[in-house]
Amino acid sequence: MTDTTHVRRRRYTADQVGAGAVAWRMLAGAVVLLIFVAPYLLMFVSSLKSKSEILQVPPTFLPTEWHPENYVTMWSTPETPLVQNLISTIVIAVFATLLVLAVALPAAYYTARFRFPGRLVFLFLVIVTQMLQPAVLTSGLFREFQFLGISDTWLAMILINAAFNLSFAVWIMHSFFAGVPKEIDEAAQLDGAGRWTVLLRINLPLVWPGIVTAIVFTFVSCWNEFAASLVILSTAGNQPLSVALTKFVGQYATSWQYVFGISIVAIVPVVILFMLIEKRLVGGLTAGSVK
């Protein structure tokens, strides 16, 4: 018993990393983290400066006078109704993401599970649409939405964002559905489960990592969309933050303290989404391995 314990202790000690190697790894990780975080840190610090101090030469990193009130006054500036812009961004991004999931989920499942005439052509056409960008088609989309009477509305931007993110969501979830053995579906159907039950209760936990990837990609793409919103949405209150940000950049003067502040506000929801999704992603991977 003593010999076994001694061997185990010696093996554990031999596998341990030295304190010097740990210190170097931590230092390297801190340097990499600083490189990625530095632009956002500089943007946050600059948002707490006055406009004159941001433009002064030579520049300073920390402000001589802190102005946290910039985050309060920017919501009531005459350039644009920023509160409505934030609401527009959230509504467009959330509902476009939900629409993409509602369409892409059954489409990806069906193309992965069934062989039908023209299946490969359909998948090829789906991926071809990914090559098109809203900026290229904005003029045609503007005329089309004018004809339908939904130009300058949230509905128009929800449809545009959903259409241009649908192909990626279908492809990424198709690959995950294709990786699930068909025998699982057949066993569930023998127990009396219908197609929707098999999709929602059997396959969904197994392909959760793919769904999370589609959610993140779609939401971030919709949140950052600019070109189509600039053309389709003419009313200031309907425009998202990406367009509202340009209102603070003028020909002769730019309110940089508000530009940096709005940029920080626009980043926060995306960071929160990643923090929430990360746990779900790990849970989905675990569920898939167990099932």
Q: What tokens were used for 99? A: 């629409």
What structural domains does the chain harbor? 19-66 (no CATH), 76-288 (1.10.3720.10)
pLDDT in tens, 122-135: 777 777 777 777 67
- Spatial distance between the Cα atoms of 150 and 158, rounded to a whole number of angstroms: 11
pLDDT in tens, 156-185: 999 999 988 888 888 888 888 888 888 887
Assess whether pLDDT exceeds 50 at residue 52: yes
Non-local (6+) Cβ contacts of 248 within 8 A are 77, 79, 254, 255, 258, 259, 262
Residue 281: predicted pLDDT: 57
The more confidently predicted of residues 105 and 193 is: 105
Assess whether pLDDT exceeds 80 at residue 265: yes
First to last CA, the chain: 38
Amino acid at 147: F
CA of 2: how far to CAs of 6, 10, 13, in Å? 6, 12, 16
- The structure's pTM equals 0.80
- Spatial distance between the Cα atoms of 140 and 74, rounded to a whole number of angstroms: 35
pLDDT band at 219 (very low <50, low <70, confident <90, very high): very high
- Tokens 């746990």 appear where? 279
Residue 101: predicted pLDDT: 92
Assess whether pLDDT exceeds 90 at residue 289: no
Residue 282: predicted pLDDT: 55
Residue 157: predicted pLDDT: 93
CA of 58: how far to CAs of 42, 222, 255, 261, in Å? 15, 38, 19, 22
Mean pLDDT score across all residues of the chain:
81
